[in-house]
Each structure stands twice: as structure tokens, then as C-alpha cells.
Amino acid sequence: MRKIIINGGVNLEGIVNISGSKNSVVALIPAAILCRDIVRIYNCPHISDVIVLCEILKDLNVSVKCEEEFIEIDSSNIEYTSLVSEKMSELRASYYFMGVLLALFNQVQINLPGGCYLGPRPIDLHLKGFKTLNCDYTIDEGILHIKTNKLIGNQIFLDIASVGATINIMFASIFIEGVTVIENAAKEPEIVDIANFLNKMGANIKGAGTSKIKITGVKTLKGCSHFVIPDRIETGTYMLFGSAVAKEMIINNMNPNHLQALIAKLIESGVNLKIDNNRIIISKPEQILPINIKTAVYPGFPTDLQQIITALMTQAHGTSIISEKIYASRFKNCDELIKMGANIRIENASAIIIGPAKLSGVEVAASDLRGGASLVLAGLIAENKTTINYSEHIFRGYGDIINKLQGVGARISVK
């Protein structure tokens, strides 16, 4: 078990550089093998999910070189194998091998995906999509087997605009003769990044970033280089850290267009921020005002920042209501925040937060990635020592978080 230790109460000051997007790169790595050629991915975050995905590639006889500036994936000698191993259950994004291996080999055998516990996380929309493309599947003791004689293009309507299902169906459709259409597709910036990457390799995808994506099948793909977009959730996380405890924090290499919902809410709560092209300068206000938020699919307020803004709102002067509309049980961090002194109650998938609360450092546990980040924020506020157990969750998605926070003056370390 890894622990993060924070001695809080320090005003942060300095520059934080944002890494490449986790939720983009975890799809780009499986997608890279669609070309059976060499791909270089630049701006890859240093996170454990990337390491696990690269290990999975090796099982498919794909070679991976991790350099300082890029990772190079050579899939010229790829061989089909069943992907049943513990590694697969370590992360959610292992499910992208479904679409990719179906496109390459017409079959895939895989563990059901793992990842953070946020309440039920079904993959029925992925499977319904594959079925519409002429696949059959069975699930036996946690192992999913999907196969087809031939993928056939079709029109797929997603009941929910699911990020993972949209990406997986794009992958499966890449080589299908004719046109496949995804209706009610997810519109997240990561989807645009992944479609751009596939198009660079020679795919023909139109409409990514809108609710209708059209994939016209191509015969083959070729290698390319790609620079991953900035991580909007990491950016948002540091913006929230800055809103709580920064004298002045400059957040570099970010894209403000991807964070309009958060920016609007922070302005409403009185936070001082200045946007300057690809950087944002942020400092804590004299008084944080309470706000109400409902999470929503992009461009709405991201569920991935819900737990972290909840920690910030413990410091607001008044009552905030934060309603979770994507994952009804994404509140496990609140028990830990309460241990630190927060006044929060959960009702009907909403957190009702009464502030300001004086937070004190105690021993807490990270239950998931973003819940872990919310405890880091609380630890930065609390005046004494906070120990965050099970910090592995945090390292799954925040590259170099300890160095980045030490760089702006935080007293934080890892054990």
C-alpha cells in the first residue's frame, strides 16, 4: 500500500505543467496496434494505467519502447492471443481491446474490465453496438468472448452518450466495408483526439465531437506520430487545488476551451482566475461562495471533477449542492472528508455541503482516483498532517503529482 503524506496549510505559488490526457492515451495505446506498423505517442502522462496497457500489448507480441519524450509502439508482428489475465482487470480502459481486436481478428476473449468503483459500470452499450455490427458474445465466469464471421456496417443508436462505447464502436468499424454511423455519440474532447489519431493513420471518420459519427471503412492503416491533448481533468484538478490554497498558481499547457463548465462555476464561486491562451492563472479568493452543480456529459460539468469540487466547497461560506448525474454512487470520498471535519450529507445522489468547515489532517483512504484527488485537496487545506492510504488509485491517473505539488511549495511526500 502506498501512502501520500501532506502537511497542509501552505499557500502554493508557482507553475504547474499539465500532462497529456489520461482518458485519451488509454484509448490511443490500444488503437495504435490497428495499423500493424510503428506509432509514436508524444505527451504521454507518467501514470500507472499507461504502464499496464503497454504490458498488455507485449502479450500480443507488440513491442513497446518508452522514451522520455514519447512511447513507440511497433505492432508489425502482432499475433492474436486471448487477453485473459489479472492485468486486464486492473483498469477500465482494457475494454478498448474489444473493439481493436474485433477489427483486427474478428474475435476477442477478455476479462470484464476493472477500474475505479463508482457504482455499477455496465458495458451493455458496447456489446449492443458489437451485436449490431454482426457479432455474438458469451460471458462465462467474468470472461467475455466476442466473435464474428464478418463485421458488417450498420447504424447504431446509443441509449446513453457513452464515451467508452463510442470509442469502441469507432475502433470496431475502422475496416468495415461501407459506412457505419453512431448516433447519440459522446462528444468529449478525447473522442476528437482519438478520431484525429485514427484519421492520421488513414481511417475515414467524420463528425467526431458531434452526436453523429460516420466511419467509412478503409482497407489498411499506416503508422504515424501523435501528440496527446492536455488532460482537462488534471487541469481542472490543479485549478481546484489553486482555488483552495494558491497565492498564485500558473497552470500551463492546458486548453481552456475544454473546461468552460468548471471555469463558469469557479467564477461564480468568486475564485480569481485569468485565462491567457494555453495557461490559466489562479488564486484563492478571500471568501469562497457556495454553488450548485449537476454533472453532465461534455460540455457539461464533468463527473470526474465532482468529488474534487466537493472538497473545495467544504470551504465555501454557505450551503452547496452537488448532484451526480452520471455515477449515482460516486461519493465514497465524502466519508473520508467528514472524518477530516467536513459537514456533508448525501441525499438522492447529491452531496449537500455546509461550509466553511475547519479541516484537520487525519488518516484517510483513497477509494478511487478522483476521490483520492479530493483528499489531496482537503490535505492541502488542513493545517496538520494528512495521511492518504491506498494512494495507488491516485497514481493511476495523476502523473508526477508529488513533484508537481512540491514544485509549487506543497509539503507532500509519498511512502
Binding site for ligand EPU (CB under 6 A): 23, 26, 92-93, 116, 121-126, 160, 162-165, 186, 233, 303-304, 326-327, 369-370, 397
Question: Measured from the CB atom, is 38 or 296 closer to ligand EPU?
Answer: 296
Four-point Cα dihedral 9, 14, 20, 23, nearest 10 = 20
CB of 45 to ligand EPU, least distance (A): 12
Q: How far is the CB of 154 from ligand EPU (least distance, A)?
A: 17
Of the candidates 367, 363, 407, which has an alpha carbon nearest to the alpha carbon of residue 385?
363
Phi-psi category of 409—alpha, beta or left, where left has phi over 0 and alpha has psi -120 to 50?
left
H-only helix segments in 60-188: 86-89, 96-105, 124-132, 163-173
User: Which of 35, 54, 116, 224 is labelled catalytic?
Assistant: 116
Cβ of residue 318: shortest distance to ligand EPU, in angstroms? 28
Nearer to ligand EPU, 192 or 362 (CB): 192
Residue carrying C-alpha cell 454553488:
291
When the beta carbons of 204 and 329 are compared against ligand EPU, the nearer one is 329
Distance of closest approach, residue 370 Cβ to ligand EPU, in angstroms: 5
Question: Which is closer to ligand EPU, CB of 92 or CB of 284?
Answer: 92
Q: Which of 21, 269 has the CB closer to ligand EPU? A: 21
Residue nearest to ligand EPU (CB): 164
State the alpha helices, DSSP H only, in 269-343: 306-313, 332-339
CB of 163 to ligand EPU, least distance (A): 4
Q: Give me the least distance between CB of 340 and ligand EPU, in Å please.
A: 21
Q: How many CB atoms lie within 10 A of CB 357?
A: 20
Smaller CB distance to ligand EPU: residue 70 or 398? Answer: 398
Q: Are strands 350-355 and 343-347 parallel, antiparallel or unpaired?
A: antiparallel
Count of beta carbons in the 10 Å neighbourhood of residue 413? 13
Residue 108 CB, nearest distance to ligand EPU (Å)? 16
Which is nearer to ligand EPU, 74 or 90 (by Cβ)? 90
371 close to 329: Cβ distance less than 8 angstroms: no
Quick one: 373 or 408, whose CB is closer to ligand EPU?
373
CA distance 126 to 140: 17
Q: Which long-range contacts (CB under 8 A, 24 or more apart) does 135-144 make?
A: 135/102, 135/172, 139/112, 142/89, 142/111, 142/112, 143/84, 143/109, 143/110, 143/111, 143/112, 144/98, 144/108, 144/109, 144/110, 144/111, 144/112
- Alpha-carbon gap, residue 331 to 341, rounded angstroms: 16
Residues 6+ apart with CB under 8 A from 254: 18, 230, 232, 235, 278, 279, 280
* Cβ 288 vs Cβ 271: under 8 Å: yes
State yes or no: is 116 an active-site residue. yes
Cis peptide before 356 (omega within 30 of 0): yes
Min CB(285)–ligand EPU separation in Å: 27
| Torsion (CA) 306, 311, 316, 320 in degrees, nearest 10 | 40
Q: Which residue(s) pair with 30 in the sheet? A: none
List active site positions. 116
